[in-house]
């Protein structure tokens, strides 16, 4: 009889554990669908303040965006358009052991320091382990991943080769499905494209807006081509010019002119 009571009690604990939410939807715009872990229906509309459970799936459409916050420490995931992810979390000692499985998409992570184990992100190409940091990821499914560091550090492992590299602020790691893993300085234009997505959904902070404006002043690009479409080069080719104007914070200007023919 006692063993039976213990068994029933164990089942109840297991039910409570699996039914406990791990994250909350803080913001939603446009077309965002989700599939509960207990359902096969992927046509459900994600709603504000929706509780999310282990293995819930989120899918954003061409204009979709949602911001998800883990309940224990406020770690935030911003899921931008055309993304497909699974929210994962198991509870241990009142803390959530967190993982995001990404099928594809563009996301911004703001992860608070983890006390039990690292926050994990898994894609078809890579696994990232995080103790606490802020960064972007552009996961292109089987075509690999781009990680862009904003603050803190992230260890990134390529699943094909097993190679590991550390992402730092102002660097970009390219993890490819062929096993290659490279790191380069982040291109200002690439970051501006992502931050324009943040601005479109009202998520760009004042500090980030100032940084974007400062970067834009340093790389203001004006293109003019063709400049003289009637002029001809060798073999009757048409001459064109690409003009790139650089403006620093003091207002000084320099212009680079690149001539080419077609």
**Domain locations in the chain?**
21-186+193-208, 220-261
Residue 135 has a CB neighbour count (10 Å cut-off) of 27
Q: Is the pLDDT of residue 216 over 50?
A: no
Give the integer Cα–Cα distance in Å for 101 and 177. Answer: 17
pTM of the entire predicted model: 0.73
**Residue-wise pLDDT tens digits, 130-178:** 999 999 999 998 889 999 999 999 999 999 999 999 999 999 999 999 9
Q: What is the CATH number of domain 21-186+193-208?
A: 2.60.120.1440
pLDDT tens track for 227-258: 444 444 555 555 655 565 555 544 556 566 65
Q: Residues 192-197: contacts with CB within 8 Å, 24+ apart?
A: 192/216, 194/106, 194/108, 194/136, 194/138, 194/148, 197/80, 197/81, 197/106
Between strands 119-122 and 95-111, the pairing is: parallel
- DSSP letter assigned to residue 150: E
- C-beta atoms surrounding 88 within 10 Å: 21
CB 217 within 8 A of CB 247: yes
């Amino acid at each position: 009889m006692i063993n039976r009571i213990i068994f029933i009690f164990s089942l109840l604990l297991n039910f409570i554990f699996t039914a406990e939410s791990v994250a909350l939807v803080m913001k939603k715009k446009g077309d965002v669908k989700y599939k509960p872990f207990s359902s096969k229906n992927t046509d459900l509309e994600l709603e504000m303040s929706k509780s999310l459970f282990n293995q819930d799936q989120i899918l954003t459409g061409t204009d979709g965006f949602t911001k998800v916050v883990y309940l224990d420490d406020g770690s935030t995931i911003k899921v931008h358009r055309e993304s497909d992810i699974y929210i994962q979390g198991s509870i241990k000692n009142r803390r959530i052991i967190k993982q995001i499985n990404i099928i594809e998409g563009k996301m911004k992570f703001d992860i608070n320091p983890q006390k039990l184990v690292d926050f994990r992100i898994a894609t078809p190409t890579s696994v990232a382990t995080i103790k606490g940091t802020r960064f972007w990821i552009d996961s292109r499914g089987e075509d690999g991943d781009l990680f862009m560091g904003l603050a803190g550090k992230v260890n990134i492992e390529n699943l094909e080769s097993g190679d590991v590299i550390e992402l730092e602020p102002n660097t970009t790691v390219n993890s490819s499905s062929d096993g290659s893993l490279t790191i380069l300085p982040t291109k200002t234009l690439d970051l501006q494209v992502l931050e324009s997505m943040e601005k479109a959904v009202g998520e760009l902070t004042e500090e980030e807006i100032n940084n974007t404006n400062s970067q834009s002043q340093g790389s203001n690009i004006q293109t003019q081509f063709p400049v003289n479409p009637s002029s001809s080069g060798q073999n009757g080719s048409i001459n064109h010019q690409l003009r790139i104007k650089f403006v620093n914070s003091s207002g000084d200007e320099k212009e680079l002119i690149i001539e080419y023919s077609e």
